[in-house]
Amino acid sequence: MSRIKATLANLKSTNRKAIIPYIVAGDPEPEATVTLMHALVDAGADIIELGVPFSDPMAEGPVIQLAHERALVHHVSLTHVLQMVSVFRETNQQTPLVLMGYANPIEAMGYVAFAQQAANAGVDGVLTVDMPPEEIGDLGSLLIEQDIDSILLISPTTSPDRIEKICAKASGYIYYVSLKGVTGAGNLNVPEVAAQVGLIRQCTSLPICVGFGIKDAASAKSVAGIADGVVVGSVLVSNIAAAAEQQMPGDLNVTALGEIVAKLVKDISVGANSVE
């Protein structure tokens, strides 16, 4: 059983929901990433999504696009990201890591090389935003051989027939995009999310984690009453940006992120995480 499956199964058995923070590797500088990852775990993160810097991150809003740009200033590549994962794994063998990015860097490296290097580094899942299920066949098969999960996206506009096709190709968990638009956009409509998550559950036994619209503890708690996990990105990345702009010491950056994640864990860790 993969680390992702084991972690989510354990959380379910204890009636808890997964906290999944997202940061961009190399933001604000490469040396900070592994430290930030450990800080997120210490604060209560169950799974980490690590963004792979890319020049055209089409699904991202302004906050995360700028994070990609800050990382690319330091020439952070997919190879560098895998090296960061390897360093993290030197002292943490438990926390699942998911790479979230775009197809171009993987295609440039080559599917076979990427799958092998990702497995060697300690990657547990891969979410390729612009690779639909029709195109994930070869890469997905190689990842399965390495016991790496393929995390696929479902959006509010995905048709029922297509939901079935996506669920058939996915492993690890389903990532439900809670709103129409890019990361950090719009306001969360909890009843609509609940309806869509219910529809997805009819097609799969995989856990369903929700992201794109989680801006604070209140929205995280609302989603936790519906889904199996919440993905938090823009609010963390914006705090990284603020610290970088103010040229704060690195430990203040880590403290700010840790406080946000710790508050999310505290707010949704009671009982069945019911919505108040």
Contact (Cβ atoms closer than 8 angstroms) between residue 162 and residue 134: no
Comparing 28-42, 179-193, 215-229, the range with the smallest average pLDDT is 179-193
> Tokens representing 29?
């500088």
* Residue 254 pLDDT class (50, 70, 90 cuts): confident
| Amino acid in the structure at residue 262 | A
CB neighbours of 39 closer than 8 A, spacing ≥ 6? 254, 255, 257, 258
> pLDDT, tens digit, for every residue of 120-178?
999 999 999 999 888 898 999 999 999 999 999 999 999 999 999 999 999 999 999 98
Q: How many CB atoms lie within 10 A of CB 92?
A: 15
* 257 pLDDT tier (thresholds 50, 70, 90): confident
**Statement: residue 268 has pLDDT above 60:** yes
* Separation between Cα atoms, residue 54 and residue 202, nearest integer Å: 35
Q: Is the pLDDT of residue 191 over 60?
A: yes
pLDDT at 216 over 80: no
| Token digits of residue 158 | 């995905």
Tell which wins on pLDDT, 184 or 75. 75
Mean pLDDT lowest among 22-26, 126-130, 212-216, 235-239 = 212-216
Nearest in space to 232 (alpha carbons), one of 265, 201, 197: 265
So what's the pLDDT on residue 269? 60
pLDDT higher than 80, residue 217: no
User: Which domains, from first to last, does the chain contain?
Assistant: 3-268 (3.20.20.70)
Do residues 63 and 238 touch, judged by C-beta distance below 8 A? yes
* Confidence band of 276 (pLDDT split at 50, 70, 90): very low
Asked if residue 185 has pLDDT above 70, the reply is: no
Instruction: Out of 64-73, 93-102, 107-116, 243-252, pick the least confident.
Output: 243-252
The answer on pLDDT for 202 being more than 50 is yes
pLDDT value, residue 249 = 62
Give me the mean pLDDT over the 207-222 stretch: 85
Residue linked to tokens 């016991």: 147
For residue range 21-71, list pLDDT tens digits in order: 999 999 988 998 999 999 999 999 999 999 999 998 888 788 889 999 999
State the pLDDT at residue 40.
Answer: 92
Rounded mean pLDDT of the chain?
88
Distance CA 161, CA 253 (A): 44
**pLDDT at 270 (0 to 100):** 44
Looking at residues 176-193, what average pLDDT do you find? 74
